[in-house]
Amino acid sequence: MSNPLEVFYIEDDVSIAQAVKEYFEQLNYKVTVFPMIEEAKKAMLKFTPAIVLIDWNMPDGQGDDLCRWIRSKWEDLPIIFLTARSDNHYVVSGFQNGADDYVVKPFSLEVLHSRILAILRRSTKKEEHRLFCDEITLDKEKISVFHNQEEVVLSSPEYQLLLTLIENKGKTITRKQLLEQIWDNTGNYVNDNTLTVTMKRLREKLHNPTCIKTIRSFGYRMEDTV
């Protein structure tokens, strides 16, 4: 049997969430239920599922806000709204904020499954070009960096330093490795202080993020803190 498809389901109604979870896990899906939007955000910063199902009204916010947050980080992650409302205002708002489809409650589990299959068939498998850590997003395709969705202008060494750390998120990279990878590859010899200065400027431009850690006398590590 193939590995199960990972589904994140943001839903605070326990009975509905349990019914969806049980049905889809029989079909070789792995369903993780989140009763709060903030819990779902933290989980998605650590792992990207195959598809996200979002209830419209949640205790700590609205589904369209979460959808907009997801789209700021993953352009192609499939999203389906599950809503008790079918009027045009909710439907239009959902699609405007990036949803791929919506299903009105109460819904048939078979219908929901068919919608999921249709979206997964339409979605093309693309190389992941957006990397992130806390509120920092790096777009490799556009060679752009964002902090809280505001673009930050970096020099080439600053960008390469951030790219190296975020591509190796969770791993400690030595100062020697960073000097060799960022500067020696261009044929430029630099001293150790160059890295210190570049890191200082990078941190300042990113509002001194806590996700960039200094490993004293060794190197740096980038890791999620939220």
Residue-wise pLDDT for 119-160, tens only, equals 888 765 444 678 888 889 898 888 999 988 789 999 999 999
Output the pTM of the full model. 0.61
Can you tell me the mean pLDDT for 8-27? 95
Q: What is the mean pLDDT of residues 181-194?
A: 73
Range of the domain at 55: 5-122
Give the range among 44-48, 73-77, 91-95 with minimum mean pLDDT. Answer: 91-95
Number of domains composing the chain: 2
Phi, psi angle pair for 191, to nearest 5°: -95, 175
Question: Do both 75 and 161 map to the same domain?
Answer: no
Domain boundary residue, one of 79, 104, 122: 122
The identity of residue 126, as a single letter, is: K
Residue 80: pLDDT above 90? yes
Q: Is pLDDT of 95 > 60?
A: no
Domain boundary among 73, 99, 122: 122
Q: Are residues 97 and 164 in the same domain?
A: no
Does residue 191 have a pLDDT over 80? no
Residue 99, pLDDT above cutoff 90 = no
Please compute the mean of the pLDDT values over residues 8-30 and round it to a whole number. Answer: 95
Contact 98/79 with Cβ under 8 angstroms?
A: yes
CATH number of the structural domain spanning residue 208: 1.10.10.10
- Same-domain status, 89 and 154: no
Do both 11 and 118 map to the same domain?
A: yes
Amino acid letter, residue 155:
S
Q: What is the DSSP string of 137-185?
A: EEETTTTEEEETTEEE---HHHHHHHHHHHHTTTSEEEHHHHHHHHTGG
